[in-house]
Chains A and B, each alone.
Chain A
């Protein structure tokens, strides 16, 4: 595997680390199986790419993308909390609606950002591009993670966690669970839209089809992360899910370099799945074997 491959996997892994943080908030903290992300990822990309294309400052465009993502998440939450639509279906409805909305925003299915300035244009250029970008992403994801940790220790953050852990109990304690859900959904999809906006700027543009499977990768990242770094404290778990996203991308990079064992291009998804499955199973096997050998000795 070349250095380019490795740094590339790190960069894309960190971008999807933001998705993983978002998915972690809904699926794990809030206990809300939210499928909006397949729409909010390209939504972030669409808003950022379109605004940059029309001459807006990349940072402003990225901020607008975050706001758009928050609105999408809020809408899903609202459909569920206020209109009592089942959580899964609410996410699906907003996800499919976003396909049309994204097309409206972009005005065409593909908005390129190859010659346009991006948030990465402000990098000083002390190091080669392919190293500087992942480092910039590392800083961005670290800030997002720390802000999220801080948020979860605040009063509203704790209310959100209580809502996910036991909604009835939380209500009995005076937590407005509906509001907590809305806040959590908005926050989650804002993070995912940020990921989409950054992805578009790092990969040369937004494409209407780029959201497909985002939820799957986000969930895989969360589960891989939790299994390689099992922890009870939230600050460690948020680190774990980002780590999971990076690991997932490293597995893809590894799978891309697997021709030497006779695998072909079409086997890529299979190889990735096998590697992820191994990552999930191996720690458990080790744990199971440990007491047995202790007894035997």
Chain B
């Protein structure tokens, strides 16, 4: 976004570029370098945290496409993740554990599910859509549970580490690189979707559906498209989830998982790709932060009985705080900080002249 004094572009390519100013190019390069050498700097525990954040970010970005860009409220996110994870489980049970099969397979299953959910969802708006997706979440989980009962004897399915030819993906560092790369790809995808025709259509539908329709946007098509994109990416996240955890069991995909992802995009900032990533980091790291705080405060014995409800409650509390006080989320805070720096010593952004 242009700030303050204005940046003057001289070519169309320059205008379209994702990274347009020199400061941004330098920052991006520094970021890439940092991510590449992180395994040398950080402990395995910290590296594992970053890997978890990357995996969560994929799911959060996918949900952001549906709810943030297109404004379609969905409470069934956990169902899509479960669909992706169980696609992997089904393939593993049929002795086809290769990720080259599982990831596209999961994406296909997700896309199909997106169509199945998206078409009836055209009739529903707002609250009813949320309820419908919630009901569908339970149906998907029931199907997955029946599969688990039948194949995995109800104790879940063990997933072997993914192998590509002779190379096996094992170990914290390898997973870190793999998942960070995937998260980066999905992030670029998300940002480009936002700037594309589909993205603009979605945002129009989100803001004023009737106006969007009157302008000539095919609302039905784009709504279903949003569902398809979102659930395909989510299912891929689910497949990655299955590989990384090396174990798939239906109870891990309860309603609370959907709430976690919604919290990620709300706390991060609805409608923003950066927000989805920041929210994913925040929600993923919160339990560890509480662990550290409890350990630091040296709470007397019995802490392990309180840790779970405290983490659970803290999550709920923070989500409520963000919903009530900071609807723009972490991105809103970040933008305020950034504006403060970029506008200093001035306080207010100059008004744009009507052109």
A and B found bound together:
no
Instruction: Name B's A-contacting residues (CB within 8 A).
Output: none
Instruction: Name A's B-contacting residues (CB within 8 A).
Output: none
